[in-house]
Amino acid sequence: MKKAVLAAMAAATLMFSVGQAQADDFPTHAITMICSWGAGGGSDAQLRFVAGLMEKELGQPIKVENRTGGGGAVGWSALARAKPDGYTIGQLTAELAMDHWITPAVTVSYKDFDALALMNEDAATVTISATAPYKTYEEFVQYLKDNPGKVRGGATSVGGIWHVAMGKWLDSIGLPVNAITYIPTSGSAEAYKEMAAGGIDACFTSVAESATMYKTGKAVGLAVMSDKRDPKFPDIPTMAERGTDIQVGTWRGIGLPKGVPAERRAKLMAALKKATSDPAYLKFMEDRGFGVKYLEGEDFYNYMKASDEALGGALKALGLAK
Amino acid sequence: MKIHDALLGLIIFVGGLIICYVAKDFPDQNDGKPGPWLFPVVLSLLFSLSGLILFFKKFKTLKDRPLIDVQDRVGAAGMLKILVLLSLIIFYILTSEFLGFLIAMGLTMLIMMLVLRTKLYMALLVSACATLGIYLIFAKVLLVPLPEGLFYF
Amino acid sequence: MFDFSVMMQGLQSILDPTVLMIIVGSGLYGLFIGAMPGLTATMAVALLVPITFYMDAVPAIASIITMSAMAIFAGDLPGTLLHIPGTPSSAAYCNDSFALAKKGKASVVLGVDLVLSALGGLFGSIILLCMAPVLAEVALQFSSYEFFWLAVLGLSCAVMISSGSPLKGFVSLLIGLLVNCVGLDITLGFPRFTFDRPELFEGFSFIPAMIGMFGIAELMKNVSEPINRNATMIEYSTDIFKGIGGVIKKYWNQIIRSQLIGTCIGILPGAGGDIAAWICYGVAKRFSKTPDEYGQGTVEGIANATTANNAAISGAFIPALVFGIPGDSLTAIIIGVLFMKGLEPGPTLFTNHGDFLFAIYMVFILANILLIPLGYIIIRLATKVMRVPTNLLNPIILGFCIVGAYAINNANFDIMAMFGFGILAFIMLKHGFPVAPAILGLVLGDMLENTFMQSMIKSEWDLTSFFSRPIAAILGLITVLLWFSPLIVKAVKKGRKVQA
């Protein structure tokens, strides 16, 4: 029911904005968009691109503010505390569903926000070094079973999304989490640097992050943890095809502090929808290798809720949730 | 104000032990190998040890110089100005969200200039121009979201 | 390596008037950003990226390259004139530049900075042009063991570069390393000394700490001095290029050494211009005939370090172009832009897009040549700062410090951190503790701990593994030799005397 009302309202505002002036001529001044990650990273690039397109729709400038720190918690806390007048919006990412499980000091979670829309989802992969003694998926699994703890895996810091992906995958094939020794790194770039130097044997990063390593022949992708194959690397099978149905990925969306008037929310949502269906945006996402997935309002909220529960469970299994 | 090196050595020694005391409760790795505690504990022990060496090296000069030398080049007037400088930073942190960048920063610079005995008209003029200049560079050209206060600037 | 026709194509694409204009424009932008303490080249590039969406590939990448090359040099300007390094890469020799500026030699120092930065950059570019693919393969042999030694090598320089008591230098280094322990630990994500403040989870940001330790400490010293109204800094010589020939002639072999070390460090993903500058400064001091001058104003040290940080810039592009592995946030952005333009980094870039690659190399060379005239203008403008009376200048610097610290994360918390580090540095300086080792501890602390823990987890706590790989063993040996070189030199001298 709620969804229907929202959809109707979105449609109404869209028609309205094409038509005449309205009661609430939101926005009348610049909108602030909070990014919890540093300028120049993938999350920031995506947000800035969307902001540029939304500006055109809303007729007001959008300032992207990078409020970094605390694994994203600093930016999200600022967003949750912002005045709910629609002039402050921000990016929500998968780490929102993880930080509060790992660190008790982080209290901010998906419950503190109204969802606007999910824009992107990148699935994890199982990627092995090209110089490894095992070449195929089956060989790799067998090697893990025969040599517990011998394989060194990596991709992010401990408790990062790709660490969780590794834990869930090992669990799904019936192996304990310490079947792979996890080497914490600061991110996928460092992990691949280590892989090239022979320090790490397996990575669990997204396809986008692994793409150049595949192309340069330094790494081999064995499976994607998604329900469909990646269009850029159609040769890599999904987990379901490998006989175990798990899906783990990172996601990015846009949210609002709780309590923004419904009319303004609908307006922002309409602008976001228009921006994310723009061909320039779709081309950007494809060029950078980001997976496009769009879910609006309530659907996005439920998606975050499900993700929060799944990731929380996985972190507990890894012994990282407090 | 200057503290005698031997006393400083003791302070470093005790400080290092305190850090070590806090850090020793950090956990192990899940498999029982050294974990997050390793670096802070080792570093703080080295820190303590350095303090101890400093203490013994300078122990002999303890009677030559006072433990805390209040008399030095800076003097009371200088200390006062340092305090003003530091309080102005705190003043800016506390008021910038409320007053907005332009007013908070303008006041900060103005007061500092007056304390350094600038003529009032000069201080008003330069602090206003400098604040505006910084605002234009950072907020307008480089899009740094400087705090907007009550009046939206 | 390149066909003549490919080279011509590449040249044509950068000799286009619009491209040249974009290069000059972004050069000026880079100089400006670098000269502002607190504004990093990464931030500037992130702001530039939305504009590059609307450019072709060559001008887009050209603008980023030019900007970053200029920004590194411009970081020397506030370091020399105000004792606040504009970028972390300038922190190594900030004390020396400022000491010389106080003696009225600001223009001369900046002239040396400018010319040697350009030479360093050119050297790095030529290495990039000639041997990128080969070097990238070598760089990729560096795993956590090798990076650990690199961090130790850098930290050894800290104690070497500290003037005065080595014990106090060591304490200062430990302060830097201990501060670095604040935040989530890498092995378990355990919050250390964070007092439950999310702002501290990733530790203290380096830029506010640097502004505090140099800028605020300097301000505290300045305002406490008796007021001499209308006092300005003296300036004996305004001829920027005076004496530069002499400097190059005198130190040519050291300059080449630093160019080599700088480029090599730059190539390693994750190590950059800042580490290169510190190591070259430390090495120069170790082999100097006048090590006492270091920290008090040595042209020799400045010459070495300023060469190294610019040489490192082009090095960082090597693993990025050949394997798509970014060494720092700047090259990460560039990889993103390359993807956007349909030019995926990797071997295909070398086989299919030779003209583009050649154009990039040419941009590096052009940017470094352009650095001289643009840098000359900016030095001329910047040295005017010295004519501003101190009673007006100090409050304005205070303003820039506050905004600079704020701008890195857009948070008042960082102004607070700057405040704390400023007081700490002031107290340290007053009691004869050098600040530079603490700064280096902050720069390298993460690398030291992370690579140590990674190596230990990988090798299951086998300490000999640090010598188990050839490159690691060599680096370890160099470090140990550097530690004991004074002893060895002494022993050799003694031996000779005995013989005589």
Q: At A232, give phi and psi (nearest 5°).
A: -80, -25
3-class state of residue C402 by DSSP: helix
Query: Closest by alpha carbon to C178, among C170, C168, C188?
Result: C170
A16 confidence band (pLDDT: 50, 70, 90): very low
pLDDT at res. A21: 41
pLDDT at res. C237: 61
Contact C410 A67 (CB under 8 A): yes
pLDDT at A171 over 50: yes
Inform me whether the C-beta atom of residue C344 falls under 8 Å from chain A C-beta atoms: yes
Inform me whether the C-beta atom of residue C231 falls under 8 Å from chain B C-beta atoms: no
Q: Are C169 and C448 in contact (CB under 8 A)?
A: no
CA pair distance B152, C5, nearest whole angstrom? 58
CA pair distance B26, C206, nearest whole angstrom? 24
Inform me whether the C-beta atom of residue C223 falls under 8 Å from chain B C-beta atoms: yes
Q: Are A32 and A65 in contact (CB under 8 A)?
A: yes
Contact A193 C140 (CB under 8 A): yes
Question: Neighbours of B (≥3 Cβ pairs closer than 8 A)?
Answer: A, C
List the domain boundaries for chain B. 2-69, 76-141
Q: Could you check whether the bond before residue A27 is cis, i.e. omega within 30 degrees of 0?
A: yes
CA pair distance C488, C494, nearest whole angstrom? 10
Reported as a single tens digit per residue, the pLDDT across A216-265 is 888 999 999 998 899 889 999 999 999 988 889 999 999 999 999 999 99
Closest Cβ–Cβ partner in B30, B143, B152 for A319: B30
What is the average per-residue pLDDT within A114-123? 94
Closest Cβ–Cβ partner in A39, A186, A284 for C42: A39
Q: Are A89 and A256 in contact (CB under 8 A)?
A: yes
3-class state of residue A114 by DSSP: strand
Question: Neighbours of C (≥3 Cβ pairs closer than 8 A)?
Answer: A, B
* Tokens 């089956």, located at residue: A138
Inform me whether the C-beta atom of residue C138 falls under 8 Å from chain A C-beta atoms: no
With a cut of 50, list the residues of chain C below it in pLDDT: none
pLDDT at res. C26: 92
Query: Closest by alpha carbon to A217, among C57, C265, C140?
Result: C140
pLDDT at res. C349: 82
Tokens at residue A26, please?
């939101």
CA pair distance C45, A211, nearest whole angstrom? 23
Contacts of A182 in chain C (CB under 8 A): 457
CA pair distance A157, A247, nearest whole angstrom? 20
pLDDT at A13 over 60: no
* Tokens 């044509």, located at residue: C12
The two domains A29-121+249-317 and A125-224 share their CATH topology (first three levels equal):
yes
Reported as a single tens digit per residue, the pLDDT across B2-20 is 888 899 999 999 999 999 9
List the domain boundaries for chain A. 29-121+249-317, 125-224
What is the average per-residue pLDDT within A173-197? 89
Q: At C103, give phi and psi (nearest 5°).
A: -85, 5
Closest Cα of chain A to B141: distance in Å?
12
Q: Are C139 and C466 in contact (CB under 8 A)?
A: no
* Topology adopted by domain A125-224: D-Maltodextrin-Binding Protein; domain 2 (3.40.190)
CA pair distance C229, C234, nearest whole angstrom? 14
Integer-rounded Cα radius of gyration of chain B: 24
Q: Which residue of A has its CA nearest to B145?
A: A65
Query: Closest by alpha carbon to C277, among C248, C243, C313?
Result: C313
CA angle (C185, C187, C191) in 5-degree steps? 30
Closest Cβ–Cβ partner in A45, A65, A199 for C410: A65
Interface of A to B at Cβ within 8 Å reads 29, 32, 63-65, 178, 319
A15 confidence band (pLDDT: 50, 70, 90): very low
Strands annotated E in C251-307: none
CATH (residue range A29-121+249-317): 3.40.190.150
Q: Which residue of B has its CA nearest to C218?
A: B82
Reported as a single tens digit per residue, the pLDDT across C229-245 is 555 566 666 677 877 88
Tokens at residue C165, please?
């008591």
Contacts of C187 in chain A (CB under 8 A): 158, 184
pLDDT at A5 over 60: no
- Which amino acid, one-letter code, is at A60? Q
Reported as a single tens digit per residue, the pLDDT across A303-318 is 999 999 999 988 988 8
CB pairs under 8 A between A and C: 163
CA distances from C361 to A47, C2, C173, C313 (A): 31, 12, 39, 12
Interface test with C, best of A109, A192, A212 (most C CBs within 10 A): A212
pLDDT at A1 over 50: no
What is the average per-residue pLDDT within A113-140? 94
Contact B30 A32 (CB under 8 A): no
What is the DSSP pairing of strand A249-257 with strand A88-93? antiparallel
What A225-233 contacts at long range (C-beta under 8 Å, 24+ apart), as own/partner pairs, is: A225/A123, A225/A124, A225/A125, A225/A126, A225/A165, A225/A168, A225/A169, A225/A249, A226/A123, A226/A291, A230/A123, A230/A291, A232/A207, A232/A289, A233/A207
Contact B31 A178 (CB under 8 A): yes
Q: Are C189 and C201 in contact (CB under 8 A)?
A: no
Closest Cα of chain C to B147: distance in Å?
9
Contacts of C171 in chain B (CB under 8 A): 12, 47, 50-51, 54
CA pair distance A92, A75, nearest whole angstrom? 9
Q: Which residue of C has its CA nearest to A39?
A: C46
Q: CB-side exposure of B137: number of CA atoms within 13 Å?
A: 19
What is the DSSP pairing of strand A180-182 with strand A31-35? unpaired
Tokens at residue C28, please?
């000026």
What is the DSSP pairing of strand A31-35 with strand A202-203? unpaired
Integer-rounded Cα radius of gyration of chain C: 22
What is the pTM assigned to this prediction?
0.87
Contact C410 A44 (CB under 8 A): no
What is the DSSP pairing of strand A62-66 with strand A31-35? parallel
Q: Lay out the sheet containing A219-224: strands in order across.
A: A180-182, A151-154, A202-203, A125-129, A219-224
Which H/E stretch holds residue C428? helix C412-430
Query: Closest by alpha carbon to C158, among C452, C479, C438, C451?
Result: C438
Query: Closest by alpha carbon to B99, among B151, B54, B49?
Result: B151
pLDDT at res. A265: 93
With a cut of 50, list the residues of chain B below it in pLDDT: none
